[in-house]
Each structure stands twice: as structure tokens, then as C-alpha cells.
Chains A and B, each alone.
Chain A
Amino acid sequence: AQKITQTQPGMFVQEKEAVTLDCTYDTSDQSYGLFWYKQPSSGEMIFLIYQGSYDEQNATEGRYSLNFQKARKSANLVISASQLGDSAMYFCAMRPDSNYQLIWGAGTKLIIKP
């Protein structure tokens, strides 16, 4: 079965601290892509970062990095130096090679405290 699991329904983090959002995935495909999206309360789904299954290095985009551990099938999002504007829902998604549909996790609600 192809599945994304995000085990943290909600997280509180102090401003300026780093935060790690967990994501594990399940697929039998050898080729797949992993995505993280941010959804503020306004509703728009904002693309943050992408990691390919064959990429040897962890993806980074500004304050966002993806801790990709292929053997453990995990793709955790790390946000460095968190800001109040980082408060939002965060979704992990997977695109397996055998299916053009994105498979979505249930999301983690992140709240940054001042």
C-alpha cells in the first residue's frame, strides 16, 4: 500500500527555535518524489521543498531542509530559526512512479509561540 504518515497532529515551538516535522512513507516503487507543502489559515497550499528518491543529497530551500532517510522511509522537514509566520498546517506528500496522483498525509499543525 502507498501511504504517508504524519504522526504529529500539532506542535508548539518557541520562536527562533528549529523544528522538525515528521513524515514516513510507504511505497514499493523504487522511483518516487517527496514534497512538503505549507497551508496557512488563508487556505492556499504553498510548495516548500522536493526530494527525489534517487537524490543523494538532502534537499534544502532557504530555512527549509529535508532530512531524507531512505532506509527508514522517512522524509522529515526541518525549519531552522522558526518565525511567527511559520504557523500553519504542513503536509507531506508522495508521488510514486506508478501513480501520477499525489498521496497526502493528514498534516501537522505548527504553532510558533512568541
Chain B
Amino acid sequence: ETGVTQTPRHLVMGMTNKKSLKCEQHLGHNAMYWYKQSAKKPLELMFVYSLEERVENNSVPSRFSPECPNSSHLFLHLHTLQPEDSALYLCASSQDLIAVKETQYFGPGTRLLVL
């Protein structure tokens, strides 16, 4: 199943670096999500896009900057990160946002280590 792809799969960066995470979905979905999964913490929703419009920004620090150029692609731009930002970053998509039955399909994630 390659419905949602993410690159890179692993990333090591220094606190002064700038990098970007990429997510692409091949499912024809209209909504896309970024999640952060830290060790021993529940999944945290970071950003939600619907039809390329951002609909949610869950008090995420400005060092994380999302971009959704079209309904198939989602980026997360990273700059001046902190060691506590080290985590697994998961991208997901769903057909829409409205119905309770909307299933989110996830990519394989990017494991980020900030040194």
C-alpha cells in the first residue's frame, strides 16, 4: 500500500539547520494532517488542511511551518528546532473532514533527531 508516502524516512539535523518534510497522497483525498508522536506521549495533531486551506494549528511553535500547495502534497518546513522536537512525524489524509466515518490513512513517518 503506497497511498501516502513521506520523505525522508529518517532525518538528523542540528538546531541551526533548515529542512523540510514532504508528504504525498495518491488517494484523491481532500484533507491532510501532520501529527507528532513523541516517546511515551499520545499522538499530537499539529496541522490540518482541507482543500489546501489550513483549518487547524494546534498551538504549534512557529519553528514548524506547514505548506499545502495542492490537495496531494503537504510539507512541513523546519527551522531552528530544539532537541525536544525529536520525534516521529506522521502525515495522514482523509477523504474529507465532515463525517465521523472519515478514516485517516497514514504515511510511514519521518523519524527526526535534533542534535
Contacts and interface: CB of A to CB of B under 8 A. Distances in A.
A56 interface: no
A35 B42 contact: no
The B interface, classified by DSSP as helix, strand, loop or mixed, is loop
A52 B102 CA distance: 11
Q: Determine which residue in A45, A47, A91, A96 has the highest number of CB atoms from chain B within 10 A of its CB, and name it.
A: A45
Contact of B42 (A42, A46, A101, A104): A104
B100 A31 contact: yes
B105 A102 contact: no
Given A101-B56, A105-B42, A106-B42, A45 B101 contact: no
B42 A95 contact: no
B98 A45 contact: no
B60 interface: no
B66 interface: no
A105 B41 CA distance: 10
Given A43-B88, A45-B92, A105-B42, A50 B103 contact: yes
Interface of B: 42-43, 45, 48, 55-56, 88, 90, 92, 97-98, 100-109, 111
Interface of A: 31-33, 35, 37, 42-47, 50, 52-53, 91, 95-97, 100-102, 104-107
